[in-house]
Amino acid sequence: MNRTVLLVDDNEDLVETLCEGLAMGSRDYEVLTALSVDAATAILDERAVDLVITDVKMPGKTGFDLLAHLIQHHPGVPSIVMTGFGTPDMERRARELGSLRFLAKPLEIAHLQSEVESVLASAAAGALLEVISQAGFFQLLSLERSTCLVTLTSDQATSELAFVEGVLCEAKAGGLTGRDAVFEVLGWKAPRISVNPLRRKPSPSEDLHLQTLLLEAARQEDERGRDGPTSAAEGAEPAPAAKDQRTTRPSAEAAEGTQTTMEEATKSENEEGGVSAGGQRSWESDFSPDRAGGPQSPKDAEKSQPRTDKESVMPDMAKVNQVLTGLQEELGAGLLATSVFSVADGQAIAAINDQPKASALFNQLTDYLVKALKQSEFPALGRYYFMELQNARMVLVVPLGDFRQGLMCDTTKVQLGMLLNITIPTLIEDMNQALA
């Protein structure tokens, strides 16, 4: 029986090209086209569709509106999203979470054909399909670096999640806030979703690292699958590890200090406790690269390379936070900020005074540096590289396989020799164990 693929994009020439490319592949499916979200939803509501391929950025209603329609009205229909911000590694990681299947632009016709045939073959075999979910929706908002207010409505409650440049910075669901609200909405069935402009500054709250929350939610779902279903009415709560898995969540005693921005922290000369964990984001932080260095043994070089196999790495967040806490205790006021972020997307999984823009930019800079060294036929990047900045500041980046850690220090309050010869080697060993 022929299957049906719905292709949605406002670019008529691109739609025609993709249709021609798909026609060169398998003849076992029919390709329908829509040049707008309204036309696409009309088709979906009128006839059976086996797969939706959609762009994100379109005039008027966007791909987000179409995906929201799928989640609420056609939750069993799989989708492939075309985005200009994807990479092959991000594609692999998204698939491991089972929450989003996307293709990076510019599209390769052969790759598109392969993806379409893979999804349709899985459906024909009765396999579990990778349909769009709340997790995938949030991932796409992060990928597209969206600034918006997402409203989700279900039978239980209404939720609001605020994103700024793709970073989740506020979450509310009924009487829940923060990470508990995120876990709550991830479990809702077929909620109604709307994406609107963010017209207010998000309320200060705990840091919400999206990738960490999605990994934790997936882990909890896997445990529930092994142990048997547990209903929300029976009082099910996230696993205890989810309550304290990030150093960025402030304690009650430190609550008054959590509003300190990085700029304020770097100007403070008399603060005894260093930078407060969970300090408010400074969105305009700017660093100037200077130099790189740091020797590396063959064993360390192997550890510093991102994994290329298909196994999904689940960090031990308790150990990660323990390492960060120990680092803060050792460096004191000399440590201005640090974050452990994913090589795939630059999103932090744990941080002290999180700087999301800096993490994303230094992740890109490190990719460029690795490529430049390779193309220059220079030795590969060592165990770390660091940059001397103005105003007695130093930035240090440590490759950790699938992750990287960045630190910003006040050089008037740390001993460079101690930092590079004792603190950093110990940090690398401890963090590699936590992330293994």
Domain extent for 171: 145-243
Q: Is residue 191 part of a domain?
A: yes
Contacts (Cβ under 8 Å, ≥6 apart) of 404: 340, 341, 343, 362, 363, 366, 397, 398
pTM comes to 0.50
39 and 94 within one domain: yes
Is the pLDDT assigned to residue 248 strictly greater than 50? no
What's the total number of domains in the chain?
A: 3
What mean pLDDT is reported for the chain?
A: 75
Supply the pLDDT for residue 36: 95
8 and 132 within one domain: yes
Q: Is residue 395 part of a domain?
A: yes
Supply the pLDDT for residue 215: 78
342 close to 89: Cβ distance less than 8 angstroms: no
Q: Is residue 248 part of a domain?
A: no
Q: What is the largest CA-CA distance in the chain?
A: 74
125 and 11 within one domain: yes
202 and 225 within one domain: yes
pLDDT digits (tens, 9 = 90+) for 347-404: 888 899 888 888 889 999 999 999 999 988 888 888 999 998 988 899 999 999 999 9
Of 85, 112, 136, the residue that ends a domain is 136
Closest to 391 measured CA to CA, from 412, 360, 373, 419: 412
Is the pLDDT assigned to residue 268 strictly greater than 70? no
301 and 278 within one domain: yes
265 and 223 within one domain: no
Q: Is residue 250 part of a domain?
A: no
Identify which has the larger pLDDT, 294 or 178.
178
For residue 304 the two structure tokens come to: 């510093």
The sheet that has 3-8: what strands, in order across it?
A: 29-34, 3-8, 51-55, 79-83, 102-104
366 and 312 within one domain: yes
Q: Is residue 249 part of a domain?
A: no
Q: Is residue 41 part of a domain?
A: yes
Supply the pLDDT for residue 265: 36
Cβ atoms within 10 A of the Cβ of 364, count?
11
Q: Is residue 334 part of a domain?
A: yes
pLDDT digits (tens, 9 = 90+) for 38-50: 999 999 999 999 9
Q: Tell me the C-alpha distance between 373 and 390, whole Å.
A: 25
Q: Is residue 45 part of a domain?
A: yes
Of 78, 113, 136, the residue that ends a domain is 136
Contacts (Cβ under 8 Å, ≥6 apart) of 303: 400, 401, 432
pLDDT digits (tens, 9 = 90+) for 111-142: 888 888 888 887 777 655 567 788 888 888 88
181 and 89 within one domain: no
For residue 299 the two structure tokens come to: 């064993």
Q: Which amino acid is at 338?
A: T
317 and 214 within one domain: no
User: Could you identify the residue written with the tokens 């390779």?
Assistant: 374
374 and 259 within one domain: yes
Distance of CA 160 to the CA centre of its chain: 19
Is the pLDDT assigned to residue 59 strictly greater than 60? yes
9 close to 82: Cβ distance less than 8 angstroms: yes
Supply the pLDDT for residue 151: 94
CATH number of the domain at 292, please.
3.30.450.30
pLDDT digits (tens, 9 = 90+) for 211-245: 778 878 877 776 766 555 443 334 444 333 333 33
Closest to 428 measured CA to CA, from 239, 312, 297, 309: 297
119 and 19 within one domain: yes
For residue 247 the two structure tokens come to: 């150093």
Of 183, 212, 243, the residue that ends a domain is 243
The tally of CA atoms less than 13 A away on the side-chain side of residue 258 is 16
306 and 338 within one domain: yes
Q: With 0-12 CB in 10 A as exposed, 13-18 as middle and 19+ as buried, what is 172?
A: buried
